[in-house]
Amino acid sequence: MSLFFPQKITLGYKALMNAKLVKLTQRPAFIICLLSLILAVTAVLPRVSSQLSFEQFANNNLSTIINQSLESGFNDTDIFSYLTDQLETTYQRIETESVLPIIKSCSMQIIDWKVNQELPISSISATTVTWKEGALQHQLLFELDCHYNLLNWFIFFILCSTLSLLVFSFWPTPYSHRQQQWLLQTSNTLNRSQQIEFNKFIDALTSPQYQWLETHITKKQWQTSALLNCIKHNNFRLLDSEQLFWLDIAFSQSDNLDDAITIAKHDDNLIFGLKEKVIFVHGLKIKLPITPFFYYYWYASKRLQDQHQGWLLNPASTKPDRQLGEELAKLMSEYGGSTRAINDLLENGLTPKKLDQNRNRIKDELISLLGETHAETYLFSSKRDLKTTRFSYRLTIDGQKVSFT
Amino acid sequence: MNFIYTPWGNRVAGTLLIIIFSAALSALSWHSTTPTLPQNLYTYTCNVHNAAAGSTLKIRNVMSNFSIQFADQLCQSDKIYKAGIEKVEISWPSSEQLTAQLLINQEYNFVFSRHHYLKGLSDEVDSFYQPILSVSGFRIVWWHKGKEPVMTQEFFANKTVGVTNNTNSHFSYLTPLRSLANANITLQPAQLKYFPTPGSLQQGFLNGDVDLIMWDKQLLSNLKPTPDIQINHSKKVWRIKGLDWYASQKSLENKELICEFIEKFSVYEPFFSTKNNLRLQSSYEC
């Protein structure tokens, strides 16, 4: 037992990480933006901050020391090349400090030095230090040439990117409109953890499926765990509103979710299982009483054979059909029908009453199970024969949808 | 915690997280520099040509003009090399930085100064330093931004006069004040304007910040381009007290060195004489 525990943890952890990372990789724009941000900050900020720092130092300190040198000059224009050299030599290697050293050092490159003259327009990376020597305005233009420690930067970039992506992968996604709706609606019926469980799947549902879920939660027709398993089921997503109806019917009968879904997805056909005397309506197994079953089968076979397009004319009430009666009795005896019914048919033949009675019994059974609307497809259509004023009946369902096993 | 799950709350919290993250990242990436100031910017050092090891020749000048070229000349000199000198260091610090201690220690091989000034620092200075080359002071006049200036109280009454902060300077402080005192001209304190450097004094005058300064006759022609301004100078001319090059007792032991120094400095004579009517006169036998 203890051997499996760490295994479970690692598997669980892997599953979690995969889920989180998948979520993140679905947002490539975000990843690119984040990495660009990290790149921009770590590449640009060291340079900019070094420059600002040195600029502040230069502004505060250089003027005094330069002016001191100028106290002893009389229109000495040579002094500026000397001062430029001295400054560049002194600041050949300006050490930088940082929590993460991306830049090692910088060096000062003097571009121009104007006294009481306009400086030419310079690049953004150049700094201007200005000060006054009495009435003279000095403008010293220089650039910092910084040396990057590429290895440091690269390591830092990788570490930072990995860490931040990891952190952001745990960022919760906001609820969708439907999820918010769900939370409101089920605030009384579900507890928090159940709500969260459902929330993961409800966005994948189609509108009819969601409505189906809503109804079931409110009416508490199914157990919450069953509902959850249902919407998690791979095949549930494929069910349309019609099939959802069948799902309900099937589940109320069997309580087995897989079977219920299979039935829901089933073709809307009618299958007769002669051995067990059961019918499969849209895949749903229904056991009819024996005699109605045979009558149903009888009509079905007529429909399948397509004699007179499946129409079976009621025999005259005064004159029962002996031949049909014998056929039906033979069928019944072959497959274990009721002895009484068989004898009745053999003695009295097929009467309209028998047909009507059994049809009604089938109708009652199916309607009680499927409701009038859905039972209709599998019940009978009638037409009146003008010649004899008797009724003809046939299965409404298309002959191709009928089969026998 | 439900706040995070609402679309609006999610965005707000997400944005906040990104801002915090960016701030943290910026803080980690922030670099600062710790630059040091150079000790001074009035010293120039050159290495003597071909010299491997040796002493440093220290020269103290009063001005930056030609100092660097002069030092370079000495550095190229064979005789300097033969004198066992490895480096030539010339400086032009402000005059108040010269102390008695420096003189007594003979810190400098050569000092450009006036006797009364050195004597004022150290009474014993003659035993440490001796003059080798005298340079006559150049001539200056009063300049006025307007009509020709005259040395009368009336003329100076409502005008401003410019001088530099360097109160030891004959050229830009002592001589102007002395000339006024000699002419019995008294100025109100507000009339005297101080400037940090000679350059700013000149510019201040050209700008019109002061009405009168003393300067050499080539005030405008020294500037390139020559400004187009109407100024006039006094007829009277004042000559600034001359300076001498003093050599330390230690240096005087090396005749070759002294003579080479004089010769190399004398190179500038034609330049000084044509511009300012200066004369060099050596009191040392070479």
Query: pLDDT at position A362, please?
Result: 92
| Closest in B31, B166, B223 to A53, CB measured | B31
A393-400: average pLDDT:
88
For chain A, the distance separating the N- and C-terminal CA atoms, rounded to the nearest angstrom, is: 49
Residue A2 in this model has a pLDDT that exceeds 60:
no
* Domain B43-137+241-282 shares a fold with domain B148-239: yes
Please report residues of B whose CB lies closer than 8 A to that of A73.
63-65, 92, 197-199
Residue A19 in this model has a pLDDT that exceeds 70:
no
Q: Cα separation of A39 and A31, whole Å?
A: 12
Token pair, residue A149, equals 């420690």
Chain B, 18-37: which have a CB under 8 Å from a chain A CB?
18, 21-22, 25-37
Query: pLDDT at position A21, please?
Result: 63
If we measure between CA atoms, which residue out of B5, B286, B179 comes closest to residue A195?
A: B5
- We find that the CATH architecture of domain B43-137+241-282 is 3-Layer(aba) Sandwich (3.40)
Please report residues of A whose CB lies closer than 8 A to that of B201.
134
Angle subtended by helix axes A207-219 and A224-232, to nearest 10: 170
If we measure between CA atoms, which residue out of B172, B219, B180, B218 comes closest to residue B197?
A: B172
Residue type (1 letter), A140: L
Q: Which distant-in-sequence residues (6+ apart) come within 8 Å of B231 by Cβ?
A: B143, B144, B145, B146, B219, B220
Q: Cα separation of A148 and A182, whole Å?
A: 54
Answer yes or no: are the C-beta atoms of B70 and B63 closer than 8 Å: no
**Contact assignment for A96 to B38 by CB distance below 8 Å:** no
Q: Cα separation of B218 and B22, whole Å?
A: 62
A218-233: average pLDDT:
84
Q: Does B39 touch chain A (CB under 8 A)?
A: no
CB atoms within 10 A of CB A351: 20
Query: pLDDT at position A118, please?
Result: 84
Select from B3, B20, B33 the residue whose CB has the most chain A CBs within 10 Å, as the one to mutate to test that interface.
Answer: B33
If we measure between CA atoms, which residue out of A329, A348, A349 comes closest to residue A339?
A: A329
Q: Does B53 touch chain A (CB under 8 A)?
A: no
Distance from CA of B206 to the nearest CA of A (A): 10
B260, exposed or middle or buried, with CB in 10 Å at 0-12, 13-18, 19+? buried
Please report residues of B whose CB lies closer than 8 A to that of A71.
94, 164-166, 196-198
Q: Apex CA B161: angle with CA B160 and CA B164, to 5°? A: 135
**Contact assignment for B62 to A53 by CB distance below 8 Å:** no
Q: Cα separation of B221 and B205, whole Å?
A: 15
Q: Does A284 touch chain B (CB under 8 A)?
A: no
Distance set, CA A330 to CA A294, A325, A335, A341, B197 (Å): 11, 8, 9, 11, 136
If we measure between CA atoms, which residue out of A275, A404, A295, A301 comes closest to residue A341?
A: A295
Q: Cα separation of A125 and A237, whole Å?
A: 60
| Strand blocks (E) in chain B | 31-33, 43-47, 55-60, 85-91, 110-113, 129-135, 139-144, 161-164, 192-195, 212-216, 232-233, 238-239, 243-248, 280-282
Query: pLDDT at position A219, please?
Result: 83
Tens of pLDDT, residue by residue, chain B (286 residues): 567 777 888 888 888 988 999 999 999 999 999 899 998 899 999 999 888 889 999 999 999 988 999 999 999 999 999 999 999 999 999 988 999 999 999 999 999 999 999 999 999 999 999 999 999 888 899 999 989 999 999 999 999 999 999 999 999 999 999 999 999 999 999 999 999 999 999 999 999 999 999 998 888 877 777 778 889 999 999 999 999 999 999 999 999 999 999 999 988 877 776 666 778 888 888 8
Domain spans of chain B? Answer: 43-137+241-282, 148-239
Determine which helix (DSSP H) or strand (DSSP E) holds B24, and give its type and residue range. helix B7-29
Residue type (1 letter), B9: G
Q: Which residue has the higher pLDDT, A389 or B214?
A: B214
| Closest in B25, B30, B93 to A38, CB measured | B25
pLDDT in tens, A133-166: 988 999 999 999 999 999 999 999 999 999 988 8
Please report residues of B whose CB lies closer than 8 A to that of A103.
31
**Contact assignment for A73 to B63 by CB distance below 8 Å:** yes
Give the torsion through C-alpha atoms of B116, B117, B122, B126, to 10 deg: -50
Of these ranges, A176-180, A232-236, B59-63, the one predicted with the greatest mean pLDDT is: B59-63
pLDDT in tens, A298-323: 889 888 888 788 888 888 888 888 88
Query: pLDDT at position A24, please?
Result: 67
Query: pLDDT at position A93, please?
Result: 94
Q: Which distant-in-sequence residues (6+ apart) come within 8 Å of A222 by Cβ?
A: A216, A230, A251
Answer yes or no: are the C-beta atoms of A392 and A382 closer than 8 Å: yes
Please report residues of A whose CB lies closer than 8 A to that of B35.
54, 57, 91, 94-95
If we measure between CA atoms, which residue out of A155, A63, A59 comes closest to residue A101?
A: A155
**Contact assignment for A72 to B199 by CB distance below 8 Å:** no
* Residue B149 φ/ψ, nearest 5 degrees: -80, 145
Distance from CA of B16 to the nearest CA of A (A): 12
Query: pLDDT at position B167, please?
Result: 92
Q: Cα separation of A13 and A7, whole Å?
A: 10
Chain A, 123-152: which have a CB under 8 Å from a chain B CB?
133-136
Select from A30, A33, A36, A74 the residue whose CB has the most chain B CBs within 10 Å, as the one to mutate to test that interface.
Answer: A74
Residue in chain A lying closest to B205 (CA) = A135
Confidence of residue A17 (pLDDT cuts 50, 70, 90): low
A350, exposed or middle or buried, with CB in 10 Å at 0-12, 13-18, 19+? buried
Residue in chain A lying closest to B206 (CA) = A135
Distance set, CA A7 to CA A2, A12, A18, A20, A21 (Å): 9, 8, 16, 20, 21
Q: Apex CA A265: angle with CA A262 and CA A267, to 5°? A: 110
Give the torsion through C-alpha atoms of A253, A256, A258, A260, to 10 deg: 10
**Contact assignment for B6 to A174 by CB distance below 8 Å:** yes
A230-234: average pLDDT:
85
State in words which class domain B148-239 has: alpha beta
pLDDT in tens, A88-120: 999 999 999 999 899 999 999 999 999 988 887
Residue A18 in this model has a pLDDT that exceeds 80:
no
* Residue A240 φ/ψ, nearest 5 degrees: -95, 180
A332-338: average pLDDT:
87
Q: Cα separation of B244 and B281, whole Å?
A: 9
